[in-house]
Amino acid sequence: RVIGELLGVPIEDREQFRWIVRDAAGALEPMASADTIAAAETASNTMNDYFRSLIAERRNRPSDDLIGGLIGVRDGSDRLSEDELVATIVLLFAAGFETTTNLIGNGLISLLRNPDQMQMLRSDPTYGHGAVEEMLRYESSVQLDARTALEDADIAGHHIDAGRVVLTLLGAANRDPDRYQDP
């Protein structure tokens, strides 16, 4: 609900997205079935169409919300392409909608599996901010993400051409023993 409010999605439109975002997130499952991928594609197209329509509406009636601000960037000197604008809004909406719910569930499970950490948090609530950050790392609700290389790069002995899409494995990075003492 919060991300819908920040973006300025009309309240009467928000409930439909609970299922649409869930279906779209199915594409992120490493072993997704053909049916899951098809449902994700349909959901993604639905979100893209919805936000393209909302952007057009906001251009006619400007708003003081996050979509209005992003339209200002798109139409101003910092230039986002129309596709980048739509993709950014869809990403913000989906990430704010689905991952927050998953973070709460994953965090609770992690605390139940680590009662010493739960007791520490209960005894001193000032650990709350750090606990949330650690939950985001330890049990990330997003396990992979696609990125486009903006320039040629060589990473760990592999050459990546500019424009190539690369999948980042956030779950693996968040448990990298070279980065974290006790991943």
Same domain, 114 and 31: yes
Same domain, 54 and 119: yes
Same domain, 82 and 155: no
Same domain, 115 and 172: no
Structural domain that includes position 40 = 2-141
**H-only helix segments in 81-180:** 82-94, 100-113, 115-123, 128-138, 170-173
Select from 107, 122, 141 the last residue of a domain: 141
Helix (H) or strand (E) segment spanning residue 48: helix 34-60
User: Has residue 4 got a pLDDT over 80?
Assistant: yes
Same domain, 149 and 125: no
User: Has residue 143 got a pLDDT over 70?
Assistant: yes
C-alpha count within 13 angstroms, C-beta hemisphere, residue 119: 4
pTM of the predicted model as reported, rounded to 2 decimal places: 0.62
Same domain, 111 and 158: no
User: Has residue 75 got a pLDDT over 70?
Assistant: no
**Size (the chain), residues:** 183
The CATH number of residue 85's host domain is 1.10.630.10
User: Has residue 30 got a pLDDT over 80?
Assistant: no
Same domain, 100 and 17: yes
Name the domain count of the chain.
2
